[in-house]
Amino acid sequence: MSDGAASGGLELKALTKRFGSFTAADNVNLDIQRGEFLTLLGPSGSGKTTLLMMIAGFLDITGGDILLDGSSIAAVPPERRNFGMVFQGYALFPHMSVHQNIAYPLDVRRRPKAEIERRVGEMLDLVQLQEFAHRLPRQLSGGQQQRVALARALCFAPPVLLLDEPLGALDKKLRIEVQAQLKDIHQRVGTTFVYVTHDQEEALSMSDRIVIMQNGRIEQIGTPQELYQRPRTAFAAGFLGKSNFLTANGALHALRPEKIDIAPRGKGKGANRLAGTVRNATYFGSFLKYDVSVVGMDTIEVDVDAWRAGEPIAVGTEVDLSWPDGAAVRLEDN
Amino acid sequence: MRKGLAEALNRYWAWLLLLFLVAPALIALPVSLTPKGFLSMPKGEYSLRHFDKLFTSEEWLSSFWQSAVIALATSALATALGTACAIGLWRVASRLGEAVRAFLLLPLVVPPIISAMAFYRLFVPMGLIDTYAGLILAHTVLASPLVLITVSTSLAGFDPRLEQASRSLGASQWTTMRRVILPSIRPGVLAGAIFAFIASWDEIVVTLFISKFSVYTLPRRMWNGIRENTDPTVAAAAVVLISITLIFFLAQSLIARRHRASASPGEA
């Protein structure tokens, strides 16, 4: 099943959206590869949902253009863009059964009945909801509803699937399960996924590439590894994962808490070293978090593997913090 | 204990108030059963002769059917107009739209006697006096705001993402309206239709002004029955009128209750 793979390359060109004097999307340029899983990540108000709604066709664009496989779709109404969409809260039709919901896009396209039956059957298989076909949406759990929404949006083999915080309503454990399912389904259907979220874990675990957004602009684009290891700005370093910020050689650097070694005073071994005092130690099961105060600096967070570290260092202990060269990433000025 | 007492008193007052409100209407019931030939409370003897007259008299039956036709036509027209209007205003959702809404609700605020005179002045030159068309039109103007209100209430609870979902799945605006929006607001549409029917069914003020001989609705005949003689058939007609109104009202509350039941989440 790789029915979406024939097309689905999206290009945003200087895309801009203004509401009165407020600029929700500011001159955004973005190439989305066909078949890619691309995540728009940012806090609320960063413009990620605005971008998605413009791609879907529910928001008029103020400036710029949107191209699908090279041709502009800016003037095409949403119902003729042929993009699947999974909404926050799923937006399943409450008066239709699961089967009717999934069949809807084919129904409104007046496809032959046999084709609809076959296709809906395939979709029910894909999301493993065969035995729920005749239930109403309200008779399903949140995770099941989410899968119906996904099946409905993929049923007509759209070249692009847009997802607007689809996991926001699920509890944490279920969310991790559904992330894996989503990623698996993406690989099986080959459709371009454009995924909006404010959850950095979701972004890291599923995406081919992540676009970090802030104030209507793209802050940084890259693979999860690139963004995590080499954040370019303080915002990117702070939003995706946690970071300590240090000033060295006149420039701001980001240093991830897990890249710092902590040892009693005089036993530090890294190339770069700071002296501090443990102010707090918090146990999180898999890791220990120390808050270490260093004279003349903000408190530094250090994460260590709790099991390997053994006995935690007592609060008040004087320690050496150290890290290898290259662990601290030099940031651009904003 | 104190709280229990206050609650009991509260309930007592509530029932008394309710009785005060409905007693005048209920008085028609015993009066309609009087064996006498004039309006009076029956004393020990009951008779169905006035109901018999109501259902056999050509005049009363004709009025009954006329009222029914006018009320049904009014309900259909007002529901179509009120629903279209509510959806239009919902879609526009602007300050101007709210001004238009206030304007459209005016028939509810303007005293009926003023509306009646306005219809009279307007309908005389148009030749609509004493016609079905005239009465249906006038009643539609009076009843449409009721539909506007009930449908707007339904739309306020409608998730606009359902509309976006429908369109993203390839449905045109019209298909979306027919297959997603209308089914979702059906309780409001049905309630509006029933209220519109009731509004026309017992309308008297405007009817008195714009009908003469050829159109003679049930409330109009009752009005004349009381004015010209004291025939208890009027009380029998009142009982029928109230019963039908009640039936429609009960139907409306049943629909509302069923909708609430289906809207509440079931078990997974």
**What are the pLDDT digits (tens) for B80-115?**
999 999 999 998 878 888 899 999 899 889 999 999
Whether B48 maps to a domain, the answer reads no
Round to whole Å and give the CA distance between B254 and B223: 32
The pLDDT value recorded for residue B34 is 84
Contact A91 B169 (CB under 8 A): no
The pLDDT value recorded for residue B2 is 63
Closest CA to A313 of A278, A284, A270: A278
Whether B12 maps to a domain, the answer reads no
Q: Is B226 exposed, middle or buried (0-12, 13-18, 19+ CB in 10 A)?
A: middle
Report CA dihedral (A92, A97, A99, A105) to the nearest 10 degrees: -40
Q: Is A85 on the interface with B (CB under 8 A)?
A: yes
The pLDDT value recorded for residue A32 is 94
Round to whole Å and give the CA distance between A165 and B161: 13
Residue A5's pLDDT band, with cuts at 50, 70 and 90, is: very low
Whether B100 maps to a domain, the answer reads yes
- Decide if pLDDT at A252 tops 60: yes
Q: Tell me the domains of chain A and their CATH numbers.
A: 10-234 (3.40.50.300), 242-330 (2.40.50.140)
Q: Is B261 on the interface with A (CB under 8 A)?
A: no
- Decide if pLDDT at A4 tops 60: no
**Angle between helix B218-228 and helix B233-263 axes, rounded to 10 deg:** 150
The pLDDT value recorded for residue A334 is 58
Whether B184 maps to a domain, the answer reads yes
Q: What is the pLDDT of residues A94-134, one digit of tens each?
A: 999 999 999 999 999 999 999 999 999 999 998 899 999 99
CATH assignment of the domain containing B254 = 1.10.3720.10
Domain total of chain B: 1
Contact B165 A56 (CB under 8 A): no
**Angle between helix A113-126 and helix A98-108 axes, rounded to 10 deg:** 130
Contact A108 B175 (CB under 8 A): yes
Contact A93 B168 (CB under 8 A): no
Contact A105 B165 (CB under 8 A): no
The pLDDT value recorded for residue B141 is 94
Query: Which DSSP category does A294 fall into?
Result: -
The interface predicted TM-score of the complex, written ipTM, equals 0.84
Residues of the domain holding B124: 62-262
Q: 3-class DSSP state for residue B47?
A: coil
Round to whole Å and give the CA distance between A241 and A15: 28
Task: Mark the ranges of chain B whose per-residue pLDDT is less than 70.
Answer: 1-3, 260-268
Q: What is the pLDDT of residues A30-49, one digit of tens each?
A: 999 999 999 999 999 899 99
Average pLDDT in chain A = 91
- Chain B residues in contact with A105 by the CB 8 A cut-off are 169-171
Interface probe with A: pick from B168, B172, B185, B258, most Cβ of A within 10 Å = B168
Whether B231 maps to a domain, the answer reads yes
Round to whole Å and give the CA distance between A271 and A310: 24
Whether B176 maps to a domain, the answer reads yes
Whether B20 maps to a domain, the answer reads no
CA-based torsion, A96, A101, A106, A109: positive or negative: positive
Helices (H), B43-111: 49-56, 58-92, 95-104, 106-109
Pairs of CB atoms within 8 A across A/B: 75
Whether B202 maps to a domain, the answer reads yes
Q: What is the pLDDT of residues A200-223, one digit of tens each?
A: 989 999 999 999 999 999 999 999
Round to whole Å and give the CA distance between B43 and A2: 86
Contact B164 A108 (CB under 8 A): no
